Amino acid sequence: MQLNSLDSSLSTIALNQMPTTSRRRGLDRWFYVGVTSVLVGLNLAAFGPSLIEPSARAVPLPLTALVGAHAAVSAAWLLVFLAQTILVATGRTAVHRQLGIAGVLLAVALVATGPLVAIGEARRGFDLSGDLVPRGTSQSAGTLLSVLFLFVLFGLLVAGAVWYRRRPEVHKRLMLLAILGPLMGAPVAHLVGHWDALRPLAGLIFPIANAVLLAVLPIHDRLTRGRIHPVSLWGAIMVFIWFIVTFVVVAPTPAWQDFAEWLVR
């Protein structure tokens, strides 16, 4: 009788927990769709004005074919990533794996074209921040090419995600960090540059924006899992440290400035 009662109690507990577990999995899947959709919208809001009326913006004209190719690759990568999150959320993992090949190729193309665009535009006296830096403002090559650190970080995060593609919990977090970290600097810079009143606050806005974006994953884990996944925590911390070390410590050094000057010759 006691064994039967115990079995009945355990079965009841299991049944009560099943909907909660299922609900959490559903929230987790659609979380990635939602966050990616917001990031795509952020990019549209940031780059849209320059695309609609480039003459009114502080962008180098005419746009080169390489700049156009890089923009197309970046947009395609974001849209493929959004499609990938939707495929996982709807249970179409086989298609997700097939489309992943295209995602890897686009990531490679993004890493390849990004530095070339940055160097090419630096030779013309522009960086990739768009309206953040007014037209005609003189900047050092080291400042103009500090964006190269972001492409290195993006490549490392995507490479790690591909390496751990058979561990979904690690894979999806590294992929989202690749967007939340290195790829959000440019749209945030463009958004800030759209308003004259915000430009002087850029030095304060960027670290706050980075911290908020990187905190999305840990907060989500805590609310849905009850604990923070190590990749969400330490990945976000390492990305933030990368920003500080590369932009605050390395970029101002004479060695980096000399290297950047050599690149733009």
pLDDT tens, residue by residue, 130-157: 566 665 566 778 888 888 999 999 999 9
Domain boundaries, the chain: 28-263
- Tell which wins on pLDDT, 55 or 81: 81
Q: Quick one: which of 75, 144, 79, 81 has its CA closest to 110?
A: 75
Q: Please state the pTM of the whole predicted model.
A: 0.84
Q: Are 211 and 217 in contact (CB under 8 A)?
A: no
Which DSSP letter does residue 63 get?
Answer: P
Per-residue model confidence as pLDDT tens digits over 181-219: 888 888 887 777 777 777 777 778 888 888 999 999 999
Where does the pLDDT of residue 18 fall: very low under 50, low under 70, confident under 90, or very high at 90 and above? very low
Check: CB of residue 203 under 8 Å from CB of residue 165.
no
Nearest CA to 238 out of 189, 173, 181 is that of 181
- Would you say 182 and 115 are in contact if contact means Cβ atoms under 8 Å apart? no
- 204-227: buried (b, 16+ CB within 10 Å) or exposed (e) per residue? ebbeebbeebbebbbebbeeeeee
Q: Is the pLDDT of residue 76 over 60?
A: yes
- Reported as a pLDDT band with limits 50, 70 and 90, residue 24 is low
**DSSP H helix total and E strand total for the chain:** 10, 0
Burial grade of 13 (CB within 10 A; 0-12, 13-18, 19 or more): exposed
> Is pLDDT at 38 greater than 60 in this prediction?
yes
Look at the block and give the residue holding tokens 């606050």: 201
Phi and psi (nearest 5°) for 227?
-150, 160
What pLDDT is attached to residue 2? 46
User: 43 by DSSP, 3-state: which?
Assistant: helix
> How large is the average pLDDT for residues 230-258?
94
CB 177 within 8 Å of CB 230: no
| Start-to-end C-alpha separation, the chain | 86
Question: Token pair for residue 254?
Answer: 């004479």
How does pLDDT run across 157-190, given as a tens digit for each residue?
A: 999 999 999 999 999 999 999 999 888 888 887 7
